[in-house]
């Protein structure tokens, strides 16, 4: 069974490896590999204080992360990575559902929106969001499509 928990200090290495996943980087706006020193700085100052940064475990082993980021505390952008070994078995879909439901619980008073920005060629990711109540909100811009969550307001 997939278990969700908040990211903690000792996850620094697991999160580093997932953040540097080749496919994830290739389909990110900044596709360069992330050096560990830069990751460590980001992890200590930003990631660990993000209350909506979740890690998922299957049989006590980490299989992926989901994170909601916001610049204004109103609109959030969701990002997701599943470890290579666990892909294509429904983990991504389950993780997204669980994370959205946890996020909604934590944010029941907020009236913002959840978005996802997905590279046009990232077929698994596009399918994942389209299957989970996200609809295309914009045309392709600089190779990215903006999806908007159509579930109940968060």
Ligand X SMILES: CC(C)(COP(=O)(O)OP(=O)(O)OC[C@H]1O[C@@H](n2cnc3c(N)ncnc32)[C@H](O)[C@@H]1OP(=O)(O)O)[C@@H](O)C(=O)NCCC(=O)NCCS
Position 147 contacts ligand X (CB under 6 A): no
What size, in residues, is the chain? Answer: 154
Using the minimum distance from each CB to ligand X, give the nearer residue, 106 or 123. Answer: 123
120 in Cβ contact with 25 (< 8 Å): no
Say which residue the tokens 């830069």 belong to: 38
**By CB under 6 A, which span of 7-15, 32-40, 82-90, 99-107 interacts with ligand X?**
82-90
Sheet with 2-6: strands ordered across: 2-6, 53-58, 61-70, 76-82, 114-119, 144-149, 134-136
Q: Is 87 in the site for ligand X (CB under 6 A)?
A: yes
CB 70 within 8 A of CB 76: yes
Residue 57 in contact with residue 3, Cβ under 8 Å? Answer: yes
Count of residues in contact with ligand X, rule CB under 6 A: 24
Q: Going residue by residue from 34 to 73, which x/- string records binding to ligand X, judged by CB under 6 A?
A: ----------------------------------------
Residues engaged in binding ligand X (CB under 6 A)? 21, 23-24, 27, 79-82, 87-93, 116, 118, 122-125, 127-128, 131
């Amino acid at each position: 069974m997939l278990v969700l928990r908040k990211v903690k200090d000792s996850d620094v290495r697991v999160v580093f490896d997932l953040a540097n996943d080749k496919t994830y980087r290739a389909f990110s706006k900044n596709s360069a590999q992330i050096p560990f020193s830069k990751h460590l700085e980001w992890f200590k100052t930003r990631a660990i204080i993000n209350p909506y940064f979740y890690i998922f475990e299957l049989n006590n082993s980490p299989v992926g992360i989901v994170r909601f980021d916001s610049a204004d505390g109103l609109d959030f952008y969701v990002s997701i990575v599943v470890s290579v070994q666990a892909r294509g078995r429904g983990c991504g879909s389950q993780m997204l559902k669980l994370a959205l439901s946890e996020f909604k619980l934590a944010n029941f008073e907020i009236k913002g929106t959840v978005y996802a920005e997905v590279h046009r060629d990232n077929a698994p990711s596009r399918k994942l969001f389209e299957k989970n109540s996200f609809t295309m909100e914009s045309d392709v811009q600089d190779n990215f499509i903006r999806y908007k969550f159509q579930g109940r307001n968060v």
